[in-house]
Every structure is written in C-alpha cells, then in structure tokens.
Structure 1
Amino acid sequence: MTIHLHQGDLPSGIDFGTSVAVDSETLGLSLGRDRLCLVQLSAGDGDAHIVRFERGNYDAPNLKALLSSQNVLKIFHFARFDVAMFERHLGVVTRPVYCTKIASRLSRTYTDRHGLKDVSRELLGIEISKTQQSSDWGADVLSPEQLAYAASDVLHLHAIKARLDQMLEREGRDELARACFDFLPTRARLDLAGWPDIDIFAHA
C-alpha cells in the first residue's frame, strides 16, 4: 500500500481510469454541523490518494472535476453521506455512483451485517481495522495510523464491487441496484434539505 497525501486538491495528471473508489472523513456525522476533512481515492491498484482540507478552504478544481465526471464511476460504501457532504462543501453533484452498502443489502439478504468491515471479511477474507474511526480528522497533524485507516476504506472497494456484482446478477437484482444508485444524489439532496429521517414515500 502506498499513500499519497495532497493538501487542498488532487494534483493534475492522476489517471484513475473509468472507476475510482471514494470515501471521506469528517469531523462528525452531522451534515449541517460537521465539516469535510479528507477525501480518499483509489483506482484499486494498491495506491491511495488522500486530499486534506483546511477548514473553509474547498477550492479543489481537480477533485471536483473528477467527482462530477460522467465518464468515471465513483464507488462508495454508504455513498449517501459522502455525496451529501461533497455537495455541501464542494458544491458538486457526484455521479455516476455505486454504493457497496446498498449492493450488499440487496444481495446479502442472509445477514444484517453490511458494514465495510463485515463485507470485506466475508467476500475478500480481509480484516479492516476500525480503531481510528472516531479520531480527530481535523487535527493539525494526522498520525500514520489515521492515514492507514483512511486509505483502507478505499483500497478494496473495487474488489468488493466485483463480488457484489456477481451476486446481484445471480439474484436478478442488478437492475434494481442501478436504479438505487441513480437515486442517491437525490437522496443526499433530501438529507441536506431537511428530510434525513422521513420516508416521503410512506402513506402516513
């Protein structure tokens, strides 16, 4: 694993191909209160690129262009939160997207364990440590352990997607999954607009 740390934006010239794994680290889990601290990316080649932001400084044209590019599929685990954070702080609508958590829920119906750690363990036999999950991502200096944790969240998403795609196709749920992925930017916008916990499709 090689980690490349970038301040404020991706450098120009990085080619992620037609799909890139993406994750973020934030100061907390409130869309309205907490800020975006890191964005992690990987082409699935063992390298991770981590973009670090100072508070209030989100002028990142190269990263924004990648997230909004129609020619690059963005692979997330729980895309709903990241896509909302990117729209709020970076001002971009991230699409097209693929969410391994949604794919897991549609295909692995024999379990209720759909966290990245559980999915990685079952499908790839890889253990991902979550010890740094609740650390201070806004700190002036990030520890090697924090950077390794942040990178681990994107390094295996391509391989997980490949396994989940096989399961979705096997169960005839791949078209349904794609429809869910296409709706994710709208679901994120509903979260930002004040409907995070309300099912607007419910009768009552």
Structure 2
Amino acid sequence: MEFTTLSNNNIKIKLVSTPEQLQEAVKDLSTKQELALDLEFDQNRFTYGFNLCLIQVTDGKGICYIIDPFGLPDLQPFFLLLENKAIMKIIHHSNNDILLLDKMGCSIQNVMDTDVAAKILNYERSSLATVLKEEFNIEIDKSQQSSNWNKRPLTEQQLQYAAIDVVYLHEVKDKLLAEIERVGRLHWLEEENRLLERLKYTEVENPHLRLRNASRLTYYNQFILKALYSFRDNLGKNLNKPSSYIIPNDALVELAINPDVDLHEWLNHTRGIHGRLKSPSYENKLREVIQKTKQAAEDQNISHDYAGSQFKRPFRTADTEKRKEELTRVQAEIVNQFGEFAGRLIINQSLINEYSYTGKLKCTKQYATQIVLDTAASLEISLPQPEVSN
C-alpha cells in the first residue's frame, strides 16, 4: 500500500518500506522546520525485547510518512534527521520513544513534548485523546491501540490509527504553547524538554530480583532464580517471544524455591509453560541448568539465610518530621498556586522524603528549584542551599 487518504485532515499517508523511499522521505522532511513524530513499538508484549515496529512523521501540511523499519536495513539517514537541532520534533509523551531511539543509537534533539506541555497547564489527564477532545472537540478512534504492530502487511485501519497520532500534533503544540506563553511558563517547558533529550536507555541490574516475591527468598534461592531467569531469557530471545511467555514469572520464582521438584511433572502441570520447553531436549537443558547451579551454590557456600529487603527506612526523628512537615507545607502552597498536576512537575513525594531523612534538598530542575525556594520564603520556611544534580 503506497497511498491512502486521511480525509478528516486532508493528509495523505505514504508508506515507506524501501531504502529508496526512505531517502526520498528524508530529503523532503529535512527541508521542514517542525516535524510531528511518533513510534509504535513492542516491549515484551508479542515479541522478545524492546523493538521498533513503526515510525510516523509529518510536517502537518501534506504527507504523513509511515516508515516500516522491518524492510529497511539502515535507519541512519532518518536518525540523522532526528538529531538535527534545527528541526523541532513534536512528540506526545516522548519518554519511551526517546529511550528506544537511544537504545538504537539515535540521540534525538530539539524535542517538544506536548504531554509535558499539557501537564504544565495542569491537565488532569494529558493523553493525546483527552487534549484533542478538550481543546478541539475531536474524538479519535483508539480501537487499534492494542494492535500487534509486528504483523505484516499493515492494515488500512492500522495505518489510519498510526497517522492520527501525529497529524494533529502541530495544532496541539500551537494551542498549548500559546497558553504556556500567556501564563509565563515557557521556561518550564524548555527545561523539561532538554531533560527529556538527556534520557538514556540502560538495562535493569539484577532483573531477576524485580520479580514478585524474589526479594523474600533466601540467598540460595535467589542464586537459583538468577540462573533460571538467564535460561528463560535466552530461550525467549531465541524464540523471539516475551520471556514470561516461556515460563510465567510466578512459576519461575516457584521453581527457584523448589528446585528439587520432579521437573517433568512440573513442566506438564504448571499453567503457562511454553510448549517448546516441554520437549525432551529443552527439559533436559533446564534440568542441567538447575543441577549445575545447585552445584555452584554448594561450591560457593551460598547461604540459605533469607536475604530480606534491601531497603531500610531511615529512623524517624523530631528533625526528620519537622523537615517533612515544612516541605509538605511548601508542596501544598505550590499545588494551591499552580494546580495539582503542574505541581507534580515541581515537587514530588520522593524529594520530600529525601529532604526529610537527609536534610539535603536535591533538585534536577532550575525552574522548580526557584519556585520551591520562593514558596518556602513566602511561608517563612528556611531551606538549605539546594544540591542541583546534572
């Protein structure tokens, strides 16, 4: 499918699936000052890992390019476009998009996040659908929201849905930006956008310990669980299936707690086990992993004591309670002045708790720091010099 007409906004959808088509699209888009962008991706829902499935991009005036990465061996020409600081990229709720791009080696620049803009204006719900309904009385069809974007060919409905996520973004940006300028919060938005551009994708450390109840296991069982998690992860990668489709998380923890179970019976009577794992060859591989890991635990004298929670709440004292009460008063005044949802961008419970227990005011945003200090001063509350992190 090359072209289809999106009648409600007079935008043509052009599917880009060859290097030649990508080159033409990049040539056209590189002449624009502002581009609306969105990514469709799969994050361990239908396939293994965090993977790009589709790119939607438009200048809002004629063509919405839908780039299919599955047919493109090299996206670098498009990534260079995203890294061009001279071109604004309008994105709604950009966090995951930026993280995925960073994972793929692209450091997007000049981001304008309309979701952040809505929050600055104290939208209770800042989804694109909500903003379009409240500001433009436009209702969009979200029936394809849970679509499997890995499947090909893409359907007409999928292309229409994907385009909708970008074709209104220029109008949304203009509307929200005008209001932000009117209330004098443009510097908030500029700083928030620059912070978003600095997001970096990192792999989770010790992901096996993030499974439910994993922190309550003994050191020995956690040692077993780590090996089981690695085995499951590798199998998921080989089969291109989410790891939890191979062995459900709860079942994996259960096996780590009872590694001496009859494995054949366990595999065939536990719900959610992938059929491939029940084959004799994979059953033997899993059995070998368990046996080797048990032997390694014995050789390394891994303790059977309970690990316990690694988080230990600091002691509460009169000073910690006083600091908490003072900063909570500051938060209440900020919410009163700017609204609950804008207030969350300025000060949150994490900052209050850290200041309460450490006496250090650690801030990441200059505009928010100034608001906190000014508000505290108006309440005659003395705060220490903030530690601004880079």
Matches within 5 A, 1:123-134: 123-134=135-146
Query: Contact 1:8–1:59 (CA<8 Å) still a contact in 2?
Result: no
Query: Of residues 39, 42, 52 in structure 2, which corresponds to 1:36?
Result: 52
1:192 maps to 2:192: no
Query: Of residues 115, 122, 138 in structure 1, which corresponds to 2:127?
Result: 115
Structure with the higher fraction of residues in strand conformation: 1
Structure 1 pair 139/75, CA: closer, same or farther in 2 (3 Å)?
same
**Equivalence for 2:93:** 78
| Shift of residue 87, structure 1, vs aligned partner | 1.3
| Shift of residue 8, structure 1, vs aligned partner | 5.5
1:2 maps to 2:12: yes
Query: Contact 1:8–1:54 (CA<8 Å) still a contact in 2?
Result: no
Structure 1 pair 8/39, CA: closer, same or farther in 2 (3 Å)?
farther
Structure 1 pair 193/27, CA: closer, same or farther in 2 (3 Å)?
closer
Structure 1 pair 104/58, CA: closer, same or farther in 2 (3 Å)?
farther
Unaligned runs of 5+ in 2: 1-10, 206-347, 358-390
1:92 maps to 2:106: yes
Matches within 5 A, 1:116-195: 116-186=128-198, 188-189=199-200, 192=202, 194=204
Query: Contact 1:23–1:153 (CA<8 Å) still a contact in 2?
Result: yes
Structure with the higher fraction of residues in helix conformation: 2
- Residue 43 of structure 2 aligns to a residue in which SS? coil
Higher relative contact order (CA 8 A, sep 6+): 1
| Shift of residue 70, structure 1, vs aligned partner | 1.1
Which amino acid in structure 2 is aligned with residue 68 of structure 1? E
| Shift of residue 62, structure 1, vs aligned partner | 2.1
Query: Contact 1:47–1:155 (CA<8 Å) still a contact in 2?
Result: no
| Shift of residue 48, structure 1, vs aligned partner | 0.7
Provide the rounded CA distance (Å) in 2 between the counterparts of 1:165 and 1:94. Answer: 21
Which amino acid in structure 2 is aligned with residue 49 of structure 1? Y
| Shift of residue 126, structure 1, vs aligned partner | 1.6
CA deviations over 1:67-111 (Å, ceiling 9, x no partner): 10111011100111111111112x11001100000000001x1x4
CA deviations over 1:12-40 (Å, ceiling 9, x no partner): 3213511100000012378x922101010
Provide the rounded CA distance (Å) in 1 between the counterparts of 2:13 and 2:169. Answer: 16
TM-score, normalised by the number of residues in structure 2 = 0.46
| Shift of residue 193, structure 1, vs aligned partner | 5.1
Query: Of residues 107, 117, 132 in structure 2, which corresponds to 1:103?
Result: 117
- Root-mean-square deviation (Å): 2.3
Query: Contact 1:40–1:51 (CA<8 Å) still a contact in 2?
Result: yes
Query: Of residues 16, 35, 40 in structure 2, which corresponds to 1:20?
Result: 35
Provide the rounded CA distance (Å) in 1 between the counterparts of 2:81 and 2:164. Answer: 20
1:51 maps to 2:67: yes
| Shift of residue 133, structure 1, vs aligned partner | 0.8
**Equivalence for 1:11:** 23
Structure 1 pair 167/18, CA: closer, same or farther in 2 (3 Å)?
same
CA deviations over 1:164-198 (Å, ceiling 9, x no partner): 01111121111111000001022x31x53549xxx
Query: Contact 2:69–2:75 (CA<8 Å) still a contact in 1?
Result: no
Q: How many residues align?
A: 193
Query: Contact 1:8–1:60 (CA<8 Å) still a contact in 2?
Result: no
Runs in 1 of length 4+ with deviation above 6 angstroms? none
TM-score, normalised by the number of residues in structure 1 = 0.86
Query: Contact 2:38–2:165 (CA<8 Å) still a contact in 1?
Result: yes
